[in-house]
Amino acid sequence: MKRLILPLLATLMLCGFTPVAPFPDDAGPVSLQVVDRDSGRTLRQYPDGAQRWVAGQQGHRYSVALRNDSSERVLVVLSVDGLNAITGEVAAPGQTGYVLDPWQRAEISGWRKSSREVAQFVFTDPGRSYAARTDRPDNIGVIGIAVFREAPRPAPAPPIARPSRPILREAPQAEAAADMASARGAAAPAPQLGTGHGAREYSRADNTTFDRATRMPTQRLDVRYDSERNLIARGVMPRRALRRDDAPQAFPQQYVPDPPAYRAR
């Protein structure tokens, strides 16, 4: 059995997890949302045929919010820009991932560097993205998950008084090896956003074991992302959908900050 990463509820908190209306193809146990960590907003998902899009903002940190809506454990293989968010390999469904307990919510906030640390996901120029900096830029602009249900755990065998030889058990089922490719759309403006390898932060995870019930994932979800300007140019995001919070607000729910240092003129 392969050892997999288990995010702990104590350290992966979802204070701002806001449900959104499901898409027709959300047939599966796990929901996926993208949270702008600097604004605190859950990014709205805009449908475009079989695809869905979110509008990111240059320089903002983000997290991938996952929720297991089932009564059983599931394994979620997370791909960002076509790369496994735990190992950094070119992503494939058969790789390692995050195990979510029944009804668990978790925010994945970065590229995993160790069992206690991640490098933050940050919206950045495609050329400065982690994928481009490691010479793998082909799938910049997409976040995807492959979800697996857990195989039933066998009941313990009755005790044997004097076994004549060791009982050989069949090895776990081989993992799938198909590549996790990004969704591709029609001709459109050049992408303005990728995901950078940001500052490191504490994020605890432990190892566990997980036997997949099937070779192929029971659910696949892709969410593409780009700038507001490009989504409007693609016709995915209407102009009237521009963020209203860009306008001045009388009650922005903030404390008084210190002013910048005084500069004599």
Q: What pLDDT, on a 0 to 100 scale, did the predictor assign at position 73? A: 96
pLDDT in tens, 198-228: 999 999 999 999 999 999 999 999 999 999 9
> What is the percentage of the chain residues whose pLDDT exceeds 70?
68
Radius of gyration of the chain (CA): 21
Residue 255 lies in a domain: no
- The DSSP element (H or E) to which 233 belongs, if any, is helix 228-234
pLDDT by residue (tens digit) across 33-77? 999 999 999 999 999 988 999 999 999 999 999 999 999 999 999
Strand partners, 34: 64
Tokens 């925010």 belong to residue: 107
pLDDT given for residue 190 in this prediction: 83
Among the residue ranges 27-31, 90-94, 100-104, the one predicted with the least confidence is 27-31
The verdict on residue 247 lying in a domain is: no
- The contacts of residue 221 (CB under 8 Å, 6+ apart) are 25, 26, 28, 30, 32, 144, 145, 147
Predicted local confidence at residue 182, as pLDDT: 36
Closest CA to 185 of 53, 27, 35: 53
The reported pLDDT for the residue numbered 153 is 81
Confidence of residue 246 (pLDDT cuts 50, 70, 90): low
Lowest mean pLDDT among 63-67, 91-95, 134-138, 182-186: 182-186
The reply to whether 265 falls in a domain is no
pLDDT of residue 243: 53
Q: What percent of the chain has pLDDT over 90?
A: 62
Q: 94: domain range?
A: 3-17+24-152+173-241
Burial of 187 (0-12, 13-18, 19+ CB in 10 A): exposed
pLDDT of 17 reads: 39
Q: Is residue 168 part of a domain?
A: no
| Residue 29 neighbours by CB distance under 10 Å | 20
pLDDT at 229 over 90: yes
Task: Classify residue 143: in a domain, yes or no.
Answer: yes
**In this predicted structure, what is the pLDDT of residue 171?**
36
Tell whether 41 is covered by a domain.
Answer: yes
pLDDT at 252: 62
Q: Is the pLDDT of residue 147 over 60?
A: yes
Residue 231 has pLDDT above 60, yes or no: yes
State the average pLDDT over residues 139-167.
76
Average pLDDT taken over every residue of the chain: 80
In a domain, 164, yes or no: no
Which pLDDT belongs to residue 27? 74
Task: Using the predicted structure, report yes or no on whether residue 20 has a pLDDT greater than 80.
Answer: no
The answer to whether residue 167 sits within a structural domain is: no
pLDDT at 263: 52
Kindly tell me if the per-residue pLDDT of 103 is higher than 80.
yes
Cβ neighbours around 126 below 10 Å, total = 19
Structural domain total, the chain: 1
pLDDT the model gives residue 248: 61
